[in-house]
Amino acid sequence: MKRTRKKTMSKTIVNVVLAFICLIWLIPTVGLLVSSFRPAVDILQTGWWTVFPHRDYVAQSTITLPKETDLRQPIEVNGEVFDDDQLRSGVTALDGSRLIWENRRARTIQVQQPDWKVNSNFTLDNYNGVLTGKTFEIMQSDGTVRAQKGEGLSKAFLNTLVVTIPSTIIPILIATFAAYAFAWLRFPLRRSMFVAVIMMLVVPLQVALIPILKDYTALGLNGSYLGIWIAHTGFGLPLTIYFMYTFISQLPKDLFESAFMDGASNFTIFTRLILPLSVPAIASIGIFQFLWVWNDYLVSLVFIGSQPDVQVMSMRIAAMVGSRGSDWHLLTAAAFVSMLMPLTVFFALQKYFVRGLLGGSVKG
Amino acid sequence: MLASTPKTSKSRNVAVTLAVVLVNAILHSGIYLFLRDTNLPSVLYALLAIIWGVLGVYSIYWSFNWAVEQYPDIWKRRIQPFIFVGPAALLLGWLLLIPTLRTLYMSLMDAGTEKFVGLSNYAAIFTNRLLLTALRNNLIWVAFGATACICLGLLIAVLADRSSFEKLAKGIIFMPMAISFVAAGVIWKFIYFYKPGDEQIGLLNAIVVAFGGEPQAFTSMLQPWNNLFLVAILIWMQTGFAMVLFSAALKGVPEDMLEAARIDGAGEIRIFRSIIIPAISGTILSVSTTIVVFTLKIFDVVMVMTGGQYDTEVVATQFYRQFFMYRNAGYGSTLAIVLLIAVIPVIIINLRQFRKQGGF
């Protein structure tokens, strides 16, 4: 009896602690998602968490001062005297209400009372803004309107797809061929070649960038899709070969022998037997390679450089962080657009993703 | 069966097989040139490029294999493995092996890679203040980032194993793995956002202000602590990786062993220390290896968050800057080699592990 109660107690503690950790892990992404739907002017003035009910000052009425009020002199409002600085940051009047400039130029003051409040302005404008290249207008906090050119991210989205799909399929195809040879064919240097593959698993790719860039410049491959496919293929191969090898080498030997007896060639065995049998392994390593290429920044930065037609999303967003540092309405929407694909893949294929992780790192 | 055919047919065979391989090559380079110079609508272009890329690779294998099958069995058996493994070997040689050697060579040359300067680049790296900062920061990343990922990952795996919502919790912790570092950079830049005054839109400063503190510019002012605020991003993203692997390893610890220890009166912490930890030590090693290598190469986070300013430079960003901005190929290469040297112990551990698992 005592023991069960103790057990329930500890289970509750475990659940509470874990829920707390999960909350911390979720908050950054939730904040981004909420912000990406808020109007520009709201984002810059209030935190995204104000979309939840909270106590705040809520506008009650507006006092219009005479047009000729001198802001450098003390300002009289309802029999009390304040100065401009106080009204800028908000000041509490004797009756408990808060006074703050509503429009300083038009000399209007807002009277606020504390109350429950929800900031529930949501908009799709931010997504329109980043996806299209059109010019659109945004309201600013002082009531003026500013024209702003969009980002045209949809082109970059397409580029990222063109870079990512072949960069996922090609290395897996090449690696599966190689893994089959390593696992089931006999040829000279087989062992040392495979050891080299294992060693390359951890070689930092920075080591390879400069010489490859020189070759690419000589071959005219810089800034082309082909060049970036080749680069991603090369960098993805060690892990993919290793992963496919561990899978293919564990397939039953009789399978091949009977096929051989029937006169099938290696190529036939490969396309008719190995590829179909490897689908689960290909799926899990494929998700990995896909996410890796989709999320890559360094390789694109080096091999695509400043070619605007071919730029992928990670480059565009990184550039936006530099050039539009506090346009949070655009940054958050752009970041979420870039996360859309990986998150979809992640939630749809989570099972395979995890299996890929387990196969690659803790075999045996 | 072809071995008995007369000599003339043999030479015709060679001609035909060469022709097939050549036609294939010409066809694909032709399509490549067409795609490169054409001006199609982008969706159509994208589609064609993808089809060309993927089918092209397959048809290269197919044509070579077809060619070799026209020859006698003895040759076929000798050459075929190289057709299977050849493209992979060529690509790895071109893109990883030879570049490593070339970078090693370039690290002994001056900025324009014209004059041989011996080890002076290495000497410069260990005396230049900027580069030393980069090395120190990499150390901070590994010491705090990797350690935290591993410890937190283990803790969460243990907690999730005993909780009532294991799947959901693991999904939440694991999710950041799917987000790019660039997007994560935006997310966290917003959290760390700083503006003077009481009304904060960045979460962290809002919390600081709510507790009566002064808002801080976390990533740009508080040196050298700002590095730790960047490391937090790595922890957020990589803990899920460690957790998944630890969680799988924990499931492999035999239940009856734990039960026996409990009956003997061992506390949970004691069980954790003397049974669970030894049982999953292999996983701990391989997870640590992967995360340490990953952390050494860290680039995107620093680039997006601070661009390496305010003393947050790491080796990988310095490498990029030296090579692409200061046009100093010598320093750039040397930094890349320093990274390589740093992972050599990891390579050795990897190989030893591979041999232990039976390898070949």
Contacts of B360 in chain A (CB under 8 A): 191, 194
Q: Which of A207, A334, A342 is closest, CB to CB, to B178? A: A342
pLDDT band at A5 (very low <50, low <70, confident <90, very high): low
Matching residue, tokens 């899990």: A284
Q: Has residue A190 got a pLDDT over 60? A: yes
Give A220 to chain B, closest Cα distance, Å.
Answer: 11
Nearest neighbour of A314 by CB, restricted to B95, B182, B335: B182
Question: Which pLDDT does position B8 carry in this prediction?
Answer: 52
pLDDT value of residue B210? 76
Return the pLDDT at B55.
85
The single-letter code of the amino acid at B77 is R
B218 touches chain A (CB under 8 A): no
Q: Which of residues 158-177 of B touch A (CB under 8 A)?
A: 159-160, 162-165, 168-169, 171-177
For residues B233 and B80, which has the higher predicted lDDT (pLDDT)? B233
| Cβ-based contacts of A334 with chain B (< 8 Å) | 186
The count of CB pairs under 8 A between chains A and B is: 338
Cis omega (within 30 of 0) on the bond before B224? yes
Residue B332: is its pLDDT beyond 70? yes
pTM recorded for the entire structure: 0.84
- Confidence (pLDDT) at A362: 41
Neighboring chain A residues of B294 at a CB cutoff of 8 Å: none
A185 and B84: CB-CB below 8 Å?
yes
Residues 229-248 of A with CB under 8 A from B: 229-231, 233-235, 237-238, 241
Confidence band of A171 (pLDDT split at 50, 70, 90): very high
A189 touches chain B (CB under 8 A): no
pLDDT digits (tens, 9 = 90+) for B251-287: 888 888 888 888 887 777 888 888 888 888 888 888 8
Query: B171-189, pLDDT tens digit by residue?
Result: 888 889 888 888 898 888 8
How sure is the predictor about A57, in pLDDT bands with cuts at 50, 70 and 90?
confident
* Position B119 confidence tier, pLDDT thresholds 50, 70, 90: confident
Residue A53 pLDDT level (bands cut at 50, 70, 90) = confident
C-alpha distances out from residue B207 to A352, B199, B216, B242, Å: 39, 11, 11, 29
Which residue from A11, A14, A298 is facing B300, i.e. has the nearest CB?
A298
pLDDT confidence bin for B359, thresholds 50/70/90: low
Of A75-84, B113-122, B339-348, highest mean pLDDT: B339-348
A-interface mutation test, from B66, B180, B241, B317, most A Cβ less than 10 A away: B180
For A121-158, how does the pLDDT look when each residue is reduced to its tens digit (9 = 90+)? 777 777 877 787 666 666 666 666 667 776 778 888 88
Contact B172 A26 (CB under 8 A): yes
Provide the percentage of residues in chain B whose pLDDT is more than 70.
95
Q: For tokens 């909350």, name the residue.
A: A23
Q: Do B46 and A158 touch (CB under 8 A)?
A: yes
Average of per-residue pLDDT across B116-138: 82
When CB atoms are compared, the residue of B282, B300, B360 closest to A194 is: B360
Interface test with B, best of A3, A9, A14, A22 (most B CBs within 10 A): A22
Cβ B316–A294 below 8 Å, yes or no? Answer: no
Residue with token string 């060693």: A199
How much is the mean pLDDT over chain A?
81
Q: How far apart are CA B110 and CA A12, in angstroms?
A: 63
Q: Where does the pLDDT of residue B348 fall: very low under 50, low under 70, confident under 90, or very high at 90 and above?
A: confident
Q: At what angle do helices A153-184 and A225-248 cross, to 10 degrees?
A: 40
Name the residue among B179, B319, B332 with its Cβ closest to that of A339.
B179
Selected residue with higher pLDDT from A192 and A4? A192
Query: How far apart, in whole angstroms, are the C-alpha atoms of residue A51 and residue A361?
Result: 42
> Which candidate, B333, B143, B243, places its Cα nearest to that of A204?
B333
For chain B, give the number of residues.
360
Q: Helix and strand tally (H, E) in chain A?
A: 16, 8
Tokens of A311: 């730029």
A85 or A209: which leads in pLDDT: A209
The verdict on a CB contact (< 8 Å) between B91 and A270 is no
A79 and B CB contact within 8 Å: no
- How far away is chain A from the Cα of B8, in angstroms, using its nearest Cα? 26
What's the rounded Cα separation, in Å, for the pair B202 and A2? 47
Contact status, residue B54 vs residue A166, Cβ threshold 8 Å: yes
Predicted local distance difference test score (pLDDT) of residue A363 = 38
pLDDT at residue A88, as a whole number: 74
Q: Which of A24, A38, A206 to mutate to test the interface with B (most CBs of B within 10 A)?
A: A206
The predicted model gives B209-232 an average pLDDT of 79
Which residues 46-85 of chain B have a CB within 8 Å of chain A?
46, 49-50, 53-54, 57-58, 61-62, 65, 69, 78, 80-82, 84-85
Report the residue of A6, A207, A316 to disrupt the B interface, i.e. the one with the largest count of B CBs within 10 Å: A207
Best of B63, B103, B104, B190 to substitute, by most chain A Cβ atoms within 10 angstroms, is B190
Residues in chain A closer than 8 A to B191 (CB atoms): 28, 31
For A213-227, write each residue's pLDDT tens digit.
888 888 888 888 888
pLDDT tens-digit map of B10-31: 777 778 888 888 888 888 888 8
Give the range among A270-284, B124-138, B192-206, B318-332 with minimum mean pLDDT: B192-206
Nearest Cα residue to B332 out of A220, A211, A303: A211
pLDDT in tens, B287-322: 888 888 888 888 888 888 887 778 888 888 888 888
Give the integer Cα–Cα distance in Å for B214 and B219: 15
The per-residue pLDDT of chain B, averaged, comes to 82
Please answer yes or no on whether B69 and A267 come within 8 Å at the CB atom. Answer: yes
Taking the CA of residue B284 and the nearest CA in chain A, the distance in Å comes to 9
Q: Which one has a higher pLDDT value, B73 or B339?
A: B339
Answer whether B23 touches A (CB < 8 Å): no
The identity of residue B324, as a single letter, is F
Which carries the bigger pLDDT value, residue A125 or residue A274? A274
CA distance linking residue A246 with residue A359, whole number of Å: 8
Under an 8 A CB cutoff, do A321 and B69 touch? no
Does residue B234 belong to the interface with chain A, where contact is any CB pair within 8 Å? Answer: no
DSSP string computed for A249-261: TTS-HHHHHHHHH
Determine whether the interchain pair A155/B165 forms a contact, defined as Cβ–Cβ distance below 8 Å: no
| B9 min Cα distance to partner chain A (Å) | 23
Banded model confidence at residue A237, pLDDT cuts 50, 70, 90: very high
B358 pLDDT higher than 70: no
Q: How far off is chain B from A345, nearest CA to CA, in Å?
A: 8
ipTM of the complex: 0.84
The DSSP code sequence of A100-165 is EEEETTTTEEEEEEEEEE------SHHHHHHHS--EEEEE-TTS-EEEEE---HHHHHHHHHHHHH
Q: How many Cα atoms occupy the beta-carbon half-sphere of A339 within 13 Å?
A: 26
CA distance A225 to A164: 10
Mind telling me how many Å the CA of B180 is from chain A's nearest CA?
A: 4
Q: Which residues of A touch B334 (CB under 8 A)?
A: none
| Interface with chain B: mutation pick from A159, A167, A174, highest number of B CBs within 10 Å | A174
Query: Which residue from A318, A122, A363, A75 is spatially nearest to B302, judged by alpha carbons?
Result: A318
Inform me whether the C-beta atom of residue B303 falls under 8 Å from chain A C-beta atoms: yes
Report which of residues A102 and B301 the model is more confident about. Answer: B301
A81 and B CB contact within 8 Å: no
Mean pLDDT, rounded, for A56-85: 75
Q: Which residues of B touch A238 (CB under 8 A)?
A: 92, 96
Query: Pairing between strand A98-103 and A91-92?
Result: antiparallel
In the prediction, which pLDDT does B4 show? 45
Q: Which residues of chain B are within 8 Å of residue A35 when distances are taken between CB atoms?
A: 190
User: Which of B37-51, B78-92, B120-134 is predicted most confidently?
Assistant: B78-92
Instruction: Tell which wins on pLDDT, A262 or A296.
Output: A296
Q: Which residues contact B357 (CB under 8 A, 6 or more apart)?
A: A363, A364
| pLDDT beyond 80 at A176 | yes
